[in-house]
Amino acid sequence: MKELKKIVISGGGTGGHIFPALAIANEIKKRFPQVEILFVGAEGKMEMEKVPAAGYKIVGLPIVGLQRKLTLKNLALPFKLLKSLSLAKNILKDFKPQVVIGVGGYASGPTLKMAQRLGIPTLIQEQNSYPGKTNRLLSKKVKAVCTAYEGLDTVFPPETIRLTGNPVREELNQTNLSREEAFAEFPVLDPTKKTILVMGGSLGARTLNEGVIYGLDQLADANTQILWQCGKYYFEAMKKEVEIRKKAAIYLTDFIARMDAAYAVADVIVSRAGALSISELCIVGKPIILVPSPNVSEDHQTKNAMALVNGQAAILIKDDVAKEQLISEAIGILNNEDKGHGLRIAIKRMAKPNATKDIVDVIEQLA
């Protein structure tokens, strides 16, 4: 293993790609303070703001994805791809990285492809239980693939696979927060009551919100309360709904900054099935209900959820029936101690708390 001096990390588009990229960068920087880390993203995407805000340099490629609907934008795709490949080649030749890391997202394709042509070692950090087309193609010449799920040896070359898990927020591994301290973050909630945490992400999830509204009367009858992150797009509408139904105990917010506290107060958690959310929930070790989003390419979220369901570590509710079943299923878990205990034991077995460190260990081996 060599000292890491120059590393390129490429990808982004969503928080699910950007967060692990930054976690990996921070761990590299912790080990090698003098290292130069360059990010390569896609112009106009979230990473072009989030990465500089975290203190790292980023350059953008004009790469775009294929539109699902027939549109004139697709005609420009081959030209933007060729330009992105050329730019990526120049970036890599100028920067001369020891290793190039792809975390998924549009930019990782041309960047890793050109790194492989230039003979630079490449690594894929695959968050999902079933990889997308780009990573499947790139894996044929990649040196290592860091995965979060078992059973990918039929998709990736088996000799490249390292089962590391996905990076999670450091505070989840380090928290010593007591239940009392956690409840202090949400003063409306009663520490003596059972609590359901519903989280649809920072933007919100319409189906989860509809499910909560549908089940509010059941919550009141079951003497159960809810900590509800409805998302910024839905907050005003959900606030009006809550004011109409005042008998249920609800802490409504558009965004939860202290997720460690939210996890600590929860007795049951309802969530979409994004790869990073699932990795965090495995660390937390609480009973979970997963409602996969139907709006994700290649149905990644259902595949992620099934990896837990097959291990008896989660309950899955399909999006089209979640409105009617969500709250009743959560209350059912709260009322069945044996079921809740079984879910807690099974999901804790799937946790990978040292994922970020293990990924950087692999990067060091490639340098």
Q: How far is CA 196 from CA 186, 191, 260, 316, in A?
A: 13, 12, 15, 16
Binding residues: 14-16, 128, 169, 202, 256, 301
Binding residues for UDP-N-acetyl-alpha-D-glucosamine: 14-16, 128, 169, 202, 256, 301
Q: What is the pLDDT of residue 320?
A: 94
Angstrom distance (rounded) from CA 98 to CA 110:
17
What's the residue count for the chain? 367
Give yes or no for a contact between 340 and 333, defined as CB atoms under 8 angstroms apart.
yes
Angstrom distance (rounded) from CA 102 to CA 21:
8
| Cα angle for residues 137, 82, 121 (degrees, 5° grid) | 45
Angstrom distance (rounded) from CA 326 to CA 342:
19
Q: What is the pLDDT of residue 132?
A: 83
| Cα angle for residues 330, 332, 337 (degrees, 5° grid) | 105
Angstrom distance (rounded) from CA 41 to CA 259:
27
- What's the distance, Cα to Cα, between the start and end of the chain in Å? 7
Angstrom distance (rounded) from CA 287 to CA 341:
8
User: Which domains, from first to last, does the chain contain?
Assistant: 6-166+353-366 (3.40.50.2000), 171-348 (3.40.50.2000)
Angstrom distance (rounded) from CA 181 to CA 170:
19
Q: What is the pLDDT of residue 203?
A: 59
148 phi and psi, to 5 degrees?
A: -105, -10
Per-residue pLDDT tens digits of the chain, which is 367 residues long: 689 999 999 998 877 788 899 999 999 999 999 999 999 999 988 899 999 999 999 999 988 765 556 666 666 667 878 999 999 999 999 999 999 999 988 899 999 999 999 999 999 999 998 888 888 889 999 999 999 998 899 999 999 999 999 998 777 777 778 888 999 999 999 999 999 999 986 556 889 999 999 998 888 778 899 999 998 889 999 999 888 877 678 999 998 888 899 999 999 999 999 998 999 999 999 999 999 998 887 788 999 999 999 999 999 999 999 999 999 999 999 999 999 999 999 999 999 999 999 999 999 999 9
